[in-house]
Amino acid sequence: MRILLVGLLLLVLATGLAILHRRRKRRSRARPRGDSTVVMYTASFEAVRRGQRVLLPEHVVLAALCDRRVAMLVASAGASAASLRRELTQHLAGPREAPTDLATLELSPAANAIVDRAWSRSVSWRGPSPIDLVVVAQSAGERCFAAALLTRACPDLDQASREPPRAPERSNHAGELVEIVLWNDDVTRMEAVERLLVDCFGMDEVEATHFMLTVHLAGSAAAGPYPPDVAAGLLARATQVARERGMPIRITLGPAAEEMGFTWATEPARAEEARGGELRAPQSS
């Protein structure tokens, strides 16, 4: 009888461990490999939108500069992510009439080398971060416009990334800054979310794509922060426009869910106008 009970107990224990292992594997497969996933998708979408068939380091850096942590890193090194993005946008060829297909997009050798080195530099099991991509892009060589641009603006991003600036904590208490959160759903089309971000939050197309993909892959993303009255006005307008366009997307005030380990898009380019013209450095999650 004792042997039977011990055998039954071992069977129950083995079954429980098998179930836990299966659930852990399911979660790991669903979890994106690092928040650089958003950056690479954004870069790809931007290349396709411009009708370009090869993904360049410039596309990668342009997309990475939409990440809050990268923007803060660049600011700590004495440069402006918004200015760097403008120069990269001017350098890249203008959009053609007919965009290319994402399936035919190729990764250039230089961009492929950046991704490989970013994986080597990464200390996270999830893979490289947007900061890893930007740091290794700076050493891509003199012939790379993005590398030369980063080197001129911030000579040593690698050193600056070792002690990145600490971001203030988010809060939604009265009188303090709050954020506007967009939540993912299975109905709203990606293109509709991008258009909403451009029309209501003043984002350009690259920012809107980065933000939309963050919402899609991470479950939610936060714009801002803004003063409470400004946030309330933006929330009301965005919700009204979304409903008029038949979008069931959920929009709320407060911090976004961060279970997936993603960072969020930078503050919309024209958001400073809503605060009376004061330009504020982007904040990190």
CA distance 109 to 105: 13
Q: Using the Cα atoms of residue 57, residue 59, residue 62 and residue 64 in order, give the sign of their dihedral.
A: negative
pLDDT at 84: 94
Average pLDDT over residues 61-83: 91
> Residue 180 is encoded by which pair of tokens?
């506007």
CA distance 131 to 81: 13
pLDDT at 273: 41
- For 236, what's the count of Cα atoms within 13 Å in the CB-facing half-sphere? 6
pLDDT at 59: 95
Q: What residues are paired with 182 via a beta bridge?
A: 221, 251
Q: Mean pLDDT, the chain, as a whole number?
A: 77
Q: Which residues 6+ apart lie within 8 Å of 129 measured at CB?
A: 34, 35, 36, 69, 122, 263
pLDDT at 19: 52
Q: What residues are paired with 183 via a beta bridge?
A: 220, 250
CA distance 111 to 174: 45
Output 85 or 7, whichever has higher pLDDT. 85
Q: What's the per-residue H, E or C state across the chain?
A: CHHHHHHHHHHHHHHHHHHHHHHHHHHHHHCCCCCHHHHHHHHHHHHHHCCCCEECHHHHHHHHCCEHHHHHHHHHCCCCHHHHHHHHHHHCCCCCCCCCCHHHCEECHHHHHHHHHHHHHCCCCCCCCHHHHHHHHCCCCCCCHHHHHHHHHCCCHHHHHHCCCCCCCCCCCCCCCEEEEEECCCCCCHHHHHHHHHHHHCCCHHHHHHHHHHHHHHCEEEEEEECHHHHHHHHHHHHHHHHHCCCCCEEEECCCCCCCCCCCECCCCCHHHHCCCCCCCCCCC
pLDDT tens sequence across 207-259: 999 999 999 988 888 888 888 889 999 999 999 999 999 999 999 987 654 43
pLDDT at 259: 36
Rg (CA), the chain: 21
Q: Quick check: 65 pLDDT over 90?
A: yes
Nearest to 197 by CA among 135, 251, 261, 136: 251
CA distance 202 to 207: 9
Domains and CATH numbers, the chain: 36-162 (1.10.1780.10), 178-274 (3.30.1390.10)
pLDDT at 236: 94
Residue 33, Ramachandran bin (φ over 0: left; ψ between -120 and 50: alpha; else beta):
beta
pLDDT tens sequence across 122-179: 877 778 889 999 999 998 887 899 999 999 998 888 888 887 555 555 544 445 788 8
pLDDT at 228: 86
Report the amino acid identity of residue 16: G
